[in-house]
Chain A
């Protein structure tokens, strides 16, 4: 089983080190330095933050190599980068660049509408988005060593991330009360491999760290997804599209650690500028949703 493989243990190991932390989207070295100084446990290099991708349209691709190198040179924390769904050659280039984690991400324009990257073949670890347990387990079977909720990137609206983390947690709880023969049937419904379904049924959690992303804009949002079972958060547009990115970054870092301490969350929520503007997801046309990319 993939979980006992030495290479896979190392990939999951780095995800373990990121727990309780905040991974911040950055587009250049200057933003990466702000993120590191504020206490980010890693940065995610991308060409444009999701809210700009949403606004500008067009094809969103892997970040330019020069930008990733610039970010790697500027900070000492792990540097992640996004590849398009199914684009295993973007991923090979990112691996050659020695990024620390690759996000096979629905935020970029998918390169393959049927297949995700065969991630076991890579030495560099992958994180993938999921909206439900079946999707999460299919990605793990392909080799993802970290799962994050998809949420709705660039929306500044937490509702989808909440839906996805609640769905995954509920589906996991459900598995823990089923008998052996029921798990076989459930694996069929989930569209996930039986050995991983059985693992979740036995342990009541995912076999890899379970993080949250997609719509986190405030310290309260970060604390909410952590309360619901996320072990760390990704913040995309929420920081650098806000009025005072440095203060907001520090506050969200604090909230991810003290998600169980309302007095400290109150401290973190004070003296912040305006959050990024939010979108009502119910009013977004189906074609503009990013979370429906990936299968």
Chain B
């Protein structure tokens, strides 16, 4: 377990996890380890009570369907206009500007083109040890990052305002643009809380 991260990032921060479908419980545990207060969010009213929001791993098509059925799309856009959002895997797909394989609706919080299931089916899922960029290590702490890829998407294009924080086999896998963060892997399925801490540091008096 990495202990270099600054544990004070999470103190007193209420962070929502969109709990429509997926591994929201794993994110709740990761947030608690990083020192924040996790809140499962399933309604627009619930979204209004948190300072940051995580869109977890799961099936992006299922999440989109429920966002539509429950009238949550506008609430998510309003939320993201001021407050930080962090997407992992399916969450990364929802936050992108363009989705391929197949094309589907997304929220364009980051200037990314994302290809779904780009490594292949479950049999191609893997765990990799990444060497994160210096920008990540300076802010979150040094050391390799264990990345769990499950039917993961690949980021095929990053816009000029996107900063790459880690790559795997030449493709960006952890990126940020302004207050939003995207990982194509699952930091919530490891004991290393540095990626969550990096996200928590984006919640500031200006974003609340």
Residue numbers of A with Cβ under 8 A of B are 6, 9-10, 13-14, 16-21, 36-42, 76-79, 95, 98-101, 123-125, 250, 253-254, 256-258, 261, 264
Contact = CB atoms under 8 A, between A and B. Distances in A.
**Residue among B23, B25, B117, B122 with most chain A CB within 10 A:** B122
A78 B151 contact: yes
A38 B59 contact: no
Contact of B189 (A13, A101, A253, A261): A13
Contact of B148 (A10, A42, A257, A258): A10
A276 to B, nearest CB: 23
A39 B62 contact: yes
A21 B65 CA distance: 12
B66 interface: yes
A253 B58 contact: no
8 contacts: A13-B189, A17-B22, A21-B59, A39-B69, A40-B62, A41-B59, A76-B102, A124-B122
B127 A76 contact: no
Tell me the interface secondary structure of chain B in the complex: loop
Interface in B21-39: 21-26
Contact of B122 (A125, A250, A264): A125
B61 interface: yes
A87 to B, nearest CB: 19
| Chain B residues touching A, range | 35 or more
Nearest to A72: B121
A251 to B, nearest CB: 10
A253 B66 contact: yes
Contacts of A19: 21-25, 58
B127 A20 contact: no
Q: Which A-B residue pairs are the 3 nearest by beta carbons?
A: A39-B65, A100-B122, A16-B23
Nearest to B65: A39
Contacts of A258: 42
Interface string B115-126: 011001111011
Interface string B134-167: 0000000000000010110000000000000000
Given A42-B59, A76-B61, A257 B189 contact: no
B150 A14 contact: yes
Given A13-B189, A17-B23, A77-B61, A6 B127 contact: yes
A17 B150 contact: yes
A28 to B, nearest CB: 19
Given A10-B122, A19-B58, 6 more contacts: A13-B186, A19-B22, A20-B24, A98-B120, A100-B122, A257-B21
A78 B65 CA distance: 16
B182 interface: no
B20 interface: yes
Contacts of B121: 78-79, 98-100
